[in-house]
Amino acid sequence: MAQAAGKRRSTIYDIAKATKASPATVSVVLNGSWTRYRIKDETAKRVLKAAEDLGYAVNMKARGLRLSRSGLAGMILPHHRNRFFAGLAEAFETEARQRGLCPIVVSTQRDEAIEVSVTTALLSQQVEFLFVVGVRNPQPLNALCRAARIPSINIDLPGNEAPSVVSDNFGGARALTEVLIEKMRSHPDAPKDLYFLGGIAGEYATDKRVAGFNDAIAACGMSHAPHDVDCCGYRPSSAKAALAQRYETLGRMPGGLFINSITAFEGLVQFTSFLPRSAMDNVCIGCFDWDPFAAHLPFDVTMTRQNVEAMIAAGFSQIEGQEQATAAGAWPVVLIPTEFSPDSEGESAWREKSTQNAAD
């Protein structure tokens, strides 16, 4: 709500009075550093909403946050280490430049304080909009953007305060699991235990992938135990340790492995490099992620590629049409289908080989 002509501009004291918060708390929230001082998200949201309602964003403009179009497009993401995030960054830069914008991409190492600090810095640089990628709790960042009158979009992990674009994690995981089950059944004498490894329980993407994994197993009538899902995190060292423990318990490799992310897949490669090659005979491996080097490994792996180009294109479409929320007032969540990597022996190649073998 903008200030009427001739009326006094709102101050932090007006916001403090409206929210029953101290002026110091209001100042910390407006500076974007409330997580560092352990101020509750609910309090921060209340302060940012009051600032917006009282027209405090006009004062932010006066301080130079939004004096004019900057031509800058902002993105934050956890890191550039794997092909998925690197691919998102590259696709973002391409789309931004096609629109005559200069892209700024900053990694935040999954640190909430860094996420807030970087978002505040990008807003102060007058970015036209902000893509928030792979952030487990994007709401505080969306609230900062809204208070500064700058659109934001959540990519990879959704939020309730802005539009989101995510992979179809459930559908992709279900399809990958179906391929693994079919491959396992083609080896009648091999073990039939299927193991999900990696990710973080309670995180949107992991939970959806576990649900797709479980759904495919239930649909084919395979037996399944809760301990067959090990959300040990994404670090290669964690995946390696979890797999080593499973190997010690079984005395062999599982019949099938669903690896949740390319970083967890690194742990598999590290562990199996110390095993005799025969230990990997008839082991069916799938990865919900993609890297072309996997095609040159000494064992078969089916990889699911997330369509980063389509995700970023959909994100720009949502940004450009963000003024229109749904009739219910909720922001949309756009699902982007996954695909099997052409560099791995995915569903199409597998089915083609199976058909040819049957004909022979």
Report yes or no: 325 and 179 within 8 Å, Cβ to Cβ.
no
Q: Is there a common fold for 12-167+309-337 and 169-306+340-359?
A: yes
Residue 359 pLDDT exceeds 50: no
Cα(17)–Cα(53) distance, integer angstroms: 13
Specify the CATH number of the domain 169-306+340-359. Answer: 3.40.50.2300
How confident is the model over 12-43, as pLDDT tens digits? 888 989 999 887 788 778 776 666 667 887 88
Euclidean distance between CA atoms 324 and 309, whole angstroms: 24
β 72-77/130-133 pair status: parallel
Mean pLDDT value of segment 134-145: 94
pLDDT confidence tier of residue 207, bands split at 50, 70 and 90? very high
Instruction: Give the model's pLDDT for residue 346.
Output: 45
Q: Give CA–CA dist 56/48, Å, rounded.
A: 9
Q: What is the pLDDT of residue 4?
A: 47
**Topology of the domain covering 12-167+309-337:** Rossmann fold (3.40.50)
Confidence (pLDDT) at 57: 58
pLDDT given at position 13: 84
- 14's enclosing H/E stretch is helix 12-19
Mean of all residue pLDDT scores within the chain = 85
What's the sign of the alpha-carbon dihedral 171, 176, 178, 179? Answer: positive
Residue 355's pLDDT band, with cuts at 50, 70 and 90, is very low
| Distance between CA atoms of residues 357 and 153, nearest Å | 47
Q: Rounded CA gap, 234 and 169, in Å?
A: 16
Mean pLDDT, residues 46-52 taken together: 86
In the predicted structure, residue 69 carries a pLDDT above the cut 80? no
Averaged pLDDT, 271-282 = 92
Residue 152, strand partner residues: 130
Domain boundaries, the chain: 12-167+309-337, 169-306+340-359
The pLDDT value given to residue 59: 47
Point out the least confidently predicted range of 10-24, 140-154, 295-309.
10-24
pTM of the predicted model as reported, rounded to 2 decimal places: 0.76
Q: What does the pLDDT read at residue 227?
A: 77
260 HSE (CA, 13 A, CB side): 32
Predicted local confidence at residue 353, as pLDDT: 43
